[in-house]
């Protein structure tokens, strides 16, 4: 038997994993459950582990795995899994990436008998730490599952740095970006700063200012005027090789 908060947290983690492929941060869980401190999240996760609903993956930052769901949720999940998957609404706010991307470079479907995957242009490495110039590598592409993508144009970037590790984004990961110029508050975006720096960060709007927020306490949040930051895409997925 789970408490209301334990149940809410388990469902939130499960939904986040299914939508993004990685577990939410403690800050995101705290905000979702409207708790005042992260210590409450620690206690809830520990309780869910002890009851066999969650498991932490060793040696990985913020990595949680849902082992099972409450009996009243599992049948609904099974029904959702068997239903046609709706187009995913893309949204991501990675830190700034340099350069304007050529139009028309959305994912190109493969042959009809290979519709399970699409080829996306790979634009090289983006800074998840200090901003770097992300140069587009002409002609380079990467194959990604078609189910990962929704409507719109997409491209891929290789992450360089460790500033987003608490968002589950590690050095060497490949992030899938939906191209766009807008993103909601709190999204992870590719941001172009002062027309010459590109980086992957969480976007926060604070009054008339824009904050680019790292997911690593070693990095400071950078604050800019609204005319200095231009969103170039939003994170919708992540690929990792072991």
Residues marked as catalytic: 163, 201
Q: How many CB atoms lie within 10 A of CB 177?
A: 29
What is the distance between the alpha carbons of residues 6 and 12, in angstroms, rounded to a whole number? 10
**Is residue 22 classed exposed, middle or buried when 0-12, 13-18 and 19+ CB atoms within 10 A define those classes?**
buried
What is the distance between the alpha carbons of residues 26 and 42, in angstroms, rounded to a whole number? 8
| β-strands 209-213, 188-193 pairing | unpaired
């Amino acid at each position: 038997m789970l408490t209301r908060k334990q149940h809410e947290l388990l469902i939130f983690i499960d939904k986040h994993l299914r939508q993004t492929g990685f577990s939410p941060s403690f800050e995101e869980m705290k905000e979702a459950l409207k708790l005042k401190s992260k210590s409450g999240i620690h206690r809830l996760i520990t309780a869910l582990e002890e009851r066999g609903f969650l498991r932490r993956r060793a040696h990985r930052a913020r990595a949680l795995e849902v082992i099972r769901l409450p009996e009243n949720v599992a049948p609904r999940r099974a029904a959702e899994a068997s239903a046609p998957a709706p187009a995913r609404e893309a949204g991501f706010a990675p830190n700034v990436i340099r350069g304007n991307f050529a139009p028309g470079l959305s994912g190109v479907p493969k042959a009809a008998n290979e519709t399970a995957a699409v080829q996306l242009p790979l634009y090289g490495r983006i800074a998840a730490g200090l901003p770097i110039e992300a140069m587009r590598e002409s002609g380079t592409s990467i194959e990604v599952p078609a189910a990962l993508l929704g409507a719109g144009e997409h491209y891929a970037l290789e992450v360089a740095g460790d500033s987003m590790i608490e968002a589950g984004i590690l050095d060497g990961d490949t992030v899938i970006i939906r191209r766009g110029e807008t993103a909601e508050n709190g999204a992870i975006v590719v941001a172009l700063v002062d027309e010459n720096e590109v980086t992957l960060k969480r976007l926060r709007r604070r009054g008339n200012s824009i904050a680019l927020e790292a997911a690593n306490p070693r990095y400071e949040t950078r604050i800019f005027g609204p005319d200095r930051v231009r969103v170039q895409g939003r994170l919708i997925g992540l690929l990792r090789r072991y």
